[in-house]
Amino acid sequence: MVDETPLDGGLKEARNEKKLMQTFRMPLQLVTFLKTEARFGHRDLTGHVIRWLEGFRNYFGLPGVAIALLEADREHLDIERFEYLLHVLYARSLTLRERGIGFDGADSVGLMDDDAS
């Protein structure tokens, strides 16, 4: 069963939870990437990594109904969460090839208008 704690709620709760020090060996290139992303988001590295992991664990704070639907699909496909997110991202890339980059952005015409023409 998926923990349906919202991303922000999970982070607030994580701040109050008992902490455990954990060390990982990572390639320098990965650490540099994480530090760059953390700086871009104005976060310390620990907070940034916790945010990413909580997001991964809780489907990035999506509503519970959306999480249940995605989890049902993932279980039906019989794949792990990492592979499922890869599958979802690839499906998005196929949509972008068909519809164009930013087709559903704030300044786009909109799906309904595109379908009407």
Q: Which three-class secondary structure string do you get for 61-97?
A: HCCHHHHHHHHHHHHHHCCCHHHHHHHHHHHHHHHHH
Tell me the mean pLDDT in the region 4-33: 77
Greater confidence (1 vs 30) lies with 30
The first and second tokens of residue 21, run together, are 């020090």
Average pLDDT value over all residues in the chain: 86
For the question of whether the overall pTM of this predicted structure is more than 0.85, the answer is no
Q: Which residues of 22-33 are buried (b: 16+ CB within 10 A; e: fewer)?
A: eeeeeeeeeeee
Cα 98 to Cα 70: distance, rounded to the nearest angstrom: 23
Residue 44 has pLDDT above 90, yes or no: yes
Cα 38 to Cα 47: distance, rounded to the nearest angstrom: 8
- Above pLDDT 90, what percent of the chain? 71
